[in-house]
Amino acid sequence: MEQDKKKWSGRFNEPVSELVERYTASVGFDYKLAEYDIQGSLAHAHMLAAAGIISGSDLADIERGLEQIRDEIHNHQFDWQVAREDVHLNIEHRLTALVGDAGKRLHTARSRNDQVATDIRLYLRAASDEIISLIRALQQALLELAEQHADTIMPGFTHLQVAQPVTFGHHLLAYFEMLQRDAQRLQDGRKRINQLPLGAAALAGTSYPIDREAVARELEFDGICRNSLDAVSDRDFAIEFCACAALIMMHLSRLSEELILWMSPSFGFIELADRFCTGSSIMPQKKNPDVPELVRGKTGRINGHLVALLTLMKSQPLAYNKDNQEDKEPLFDTVDTLKDTLRIYADMMTGVKVNQTTMRQAALRGYATATDLADYLVRKGMPFRDAHEIVAKVVRAAEDKQCDLSALSLPELKQFSAVIEADVFAILTLEGSVQSRNHSGGTAPAQVRQAIERARSSITE
Ligand code: ARG
């Protein structure tokens, strides 16, 4: 068998072994770059013809051949061969089979090094745009739910202990803000992705009279990579993308954790639609929040991909090294996982059912208005530290009576401080508490409604 195999070129005495062939091939995964590889090749060929480096008839052959290859790939008729190593050589080989010498001329003034760097940038640019619009869809879903629950009261937590009452709408808007920064980060990273490597060739540039700006324009890059060695070797833009992805997943894993807690019968704050949950094969009563749990779990794998790429790039000498072929699988998996996660999340948040009574009960159980009572005493002239101590004693008394602060009578409250009057009850209620936090960024329902307005216009402009 080995004897039938072809040597890499006339420089070699023997072909690679089958194991080496399999070990070094990337076509099993980089076939995903095919569409971008074709776009890049077409732009390169147009430039070669315009510069007089190839003839008009070669260009016509190349265009015809690449269009056919695009169809074949689209219709799953393309014969991918591991022996042809990667997506670039598979396409070039097929092109030559289809159009002859013109196919062999396509690689003039180009190397697979600048070719693959271009392909990945085109791929990541499209992925960034898609992910930004998926973030927008999730943000919309959060805004809708927040709007329905601008007045819904829940306990706000610190240390997972009841802290102060907040509105559920306000809580959801916190995630809107996180996603807003996530989208901004992707948008910003896109500028660094969107620079053209082609023209760098293997590492040093090329001796042909190429027009890199024209290629950049055709492929809608914002500009060209300024240094050929840097252009073919660095993958910092991909690492940056993975860092953005890891932050998004980190945010979604926090929301997932909350959904999981809120859905547990011990909390009972929400229900997720059945289509996002599964049952247990042994415990008939169970409804498990599989989707948020998997989002939490997949966050680990996205973090892993980020670390994989950082480690891959670390200590590589200039310029291109084959190590970089290993950038693709982590990158592709990051994009696929993130897209699916965002899609599923937007749908899941639309189907969240809120148990308002349970949320309210939970806020009442934890003396969530204790700070409001302290603030009340301060408004009556007491130093905050003294007020804090007095309220601690009031809470103890309420605990002994097993009732909420607002259920204590005025005479009872007055035993702790003579400055307490009947107007205290307005601030001891949950509603009074949230309404009093009426400044921008605060939890008051009026503020939540304004924040939703602002948020809506920020994502549609
Ligand atoms: N498959 C390679 C990669 O993904 C393409 C570039 C190969 N360049 C080379 N000089 N062997 O990085």
Please count the other Cβ atoms lying within 10 Å of the Cβ belonging to residue 236: 14
C-alpha to C-alpha distance for 221 and 44, rounded to whole angstroms: 13
For the stretch 232-252, pLDDT in tens is 999 999 999 999 999 999 999
Res 202 pLDDT > 90: yes
Q: Which two tokens stand for residue 233?
A: 């070797």
Cα 100 to chain centroid, rounded:
44
What does the pLDDT average to over 135-148?
A: 98
The catalytic site residues sit at 159, 280
Q: Which among 190, 273, 202 is positioned nearest to 233, based on CA atoms?
A: 202
Ligand 1 pocket, residue 296 CB under 6 Å = no
- Nearest-atom number in ligand 1 for the CA of 328 is 4
Ligand 1 pocket, residue 299 CB under 6 Å = no
Q: Find out whether 355 and 271 touch, Cβ atoms under 8 Å.
A: yes
* Burial track 293-320 (b if 16+ CB lie within 10 A, e otherwise): bebbebbeebbebbebbeebbeeeeebb
Q: Which among 239, 163, 185, 151 is positioned nearest to 435, based on CA atoms?
A: 151
Give the H or E element holding residue 442: none
Q: Which among 366, 350, 385 is positioned nearest to 430, based on CA atoms?
A: 366
Tell how far the Cα of 90 is from the centroid of ligand 1, in angstroms.
Answer: 13
- Nearest-atom number in ligand 1 for the CA of 202 is 10
Tell how far the Cα of 48 is from the centroid of ligand 1, in angstroms.
Answer: 22
C-alpha to C-alpha distance for 91 and 31, rounded to whole angstroms: 10
Cα 418 to chain centroid, rounded:
55
Tell how far the Cα of 337 is from the centroid of ligand 1, in angstroms.
Answer: 25
Per-residue pLDDT band at 6 (split at 50, 70, 90): confident
Per-residue pLDDT band at 432 (split at 50, 70, 90): very high
For the stretch 311-369, pLDDT in tens is 999 999 999 999 999 999 999 999 999 999 999 999 999 999 999 999 999 999 889 99
Ligand 1 pocket, residue 235 CB under 6 Å = no
Ligand 1 pocket, residue 86 CB under 6 Å = yes
Ligand 1 pocket, residue 194 CB under 6 Å = no
Tell how far the Cα of 290 is from the centroid of ligand 1, in angstroms.
Answer: 39
Ligand 1 pocket, residue 116 CB under 6 Å = yes
Substitution candidate for ligand 1 out of 325, 331, 332 with most atoms within 8 A of CB = 325
Q: Which among 450, 455, 448, 447 is positioned nearest to 149, based on CA atoms?
A: 448
Residues of the chain with pLDDT > 90, as a percent, come to 93
Please count the other Cβ atoms lying within 10 Å of the Cβ belonging to residue 11: 6
C-alpha to C-alpha distance for 7 and 107, rounded to whole angstroms: 20
CA-nearest residue, atom 2 of ligand 1? 325
Q: Which two tokens stand for residue 1?
A: 């068998």
Ligand 1 pocket, residue 324 CB under 6 Å = yes
For the stretch 111-133, pLDDT in tens is 999 999 999 999 999 999 999 99
Q: Which residues pair with 288 in a beta bridge?
A: 278
Q: Find out whether 324 and 197 touch, Cβ atoms under 8 Å.
A: no
* Domains of the chain and CATH, by start: 8-108 (1.10.275.10), 113-147+170-200+223-360 (1.20.200.10), 366-455 (1.10.40.30)
Residues 6+ apart with CB under 8 A from 150: 167, 169, 445, 448, 449, 452
| pLDDT of amino acid 460 | 83
Per-residue pLDDT band at 1 (split at 50, 70, 90): very low
Per-residue pLDDT band at 284 (split at 50, 70, 90): confident
Ligand 1 pocket, residue 113 CB under 6 Å = yes
- pTM summary value: 0.95
Q: How, if at all, do strands 353-354 and 161-167 pair?
A: unpaired
| pLDDT of amino acid 278 | 84
Res 170 pLDDT > 80: yes
- Nearest-atom number in ligand 1 for the CA of 320 is 10
Res 3 pLDDT > 50: no
For the stretch 72-115, pLDDT in tens is 999 999 999 999 999 999 999 999 999 999 999 999 999 999 99
User: Sign (positive/negative) of CA torsion 270, 271, 276, 278?
Assistant: positive
Res 171 pLDDT > 80: yes
| pLDDT of amino acid 287 | 86
Substitution candidate for ligand 1 out of 37, 110, 112, 115 with most atoms within 8 A of CB = 112
Ligand 1 pocket, residue 92 CB under 6 Å = no
Question: Across the chain, what does the average pLDDT equal?
Answer: 96
